[in-house]
Structure 1
């Protein structure tokens, strides 16, 4: 279980692009079907964590876009914190 928490912590630090690239490589490996069952399970778990991470990053960006407003003819971006967006 400690390994999964360690992996989740590592993944939480990945930029979106890096997480997506790793997720794509995992999908390719699993599609080839050349990994052992145990490795496939581990890759699947990592893929789930990566998918959730990417989803969270996309939601954060979506919120930033929503906060883009126009004031006095100027477009400004109001900072968004994750805590503000959670309800």
Structure 2
């Protein structure tokens, strides 16, 4: 069996990654695919979900920075 290079999703916008993730979930829920294809879809879904999370985390950091809670790239200060 030949190994494919892992697909990267760095160039996808949040909306594109989410749309592809929804399509993957729909295919998995519909069933009727082989075990090998199911595993490939699962791995693709995991990578797409991680890409969406990267976008959301970046948005959180930007909002925190805009609110003055933290500098861009820094974690917000703990309240105490």
TM-score band w.r.t. shorter chain:
0.7 to 0.9
Give the alignment's TM-score, normalised by structure 1.
Answer: 0.73
Residue of structure 2 equivalent to 1:48 = 46
Give unmatched runs, 5+ long, in structure 1. Answer: 71-78
Q: Whole-Å Cα distance in 2 between the matches of residues 85 and 55 of structure 1?
A: 17
Residue of structure 1 equivalent to 2:20 = 22
Structure that is richer in strand per residue: 1
Deviation at 1:85, TM superposition (A): 3.5
- For the pair 1:85 / 2:74, whether they are aligned, the reply is yes
Please identify runs of 4+ aligned residues in structure 1 that moved more than 2 A: none
Residue of structure 1 equivalent to 2:5 = 3
Q: Whole-Å Cα distance in 2 between the matches of residues 42 and 69 of structure 1?
A: 41
Residue of structure 2 equivalent to 1:58 = 56
Give unmatched runs, 5+ long, in structure 2. Answer: 76-80
Give the alignment's TM-score, normalised by structure 2.
Answer: 0.78
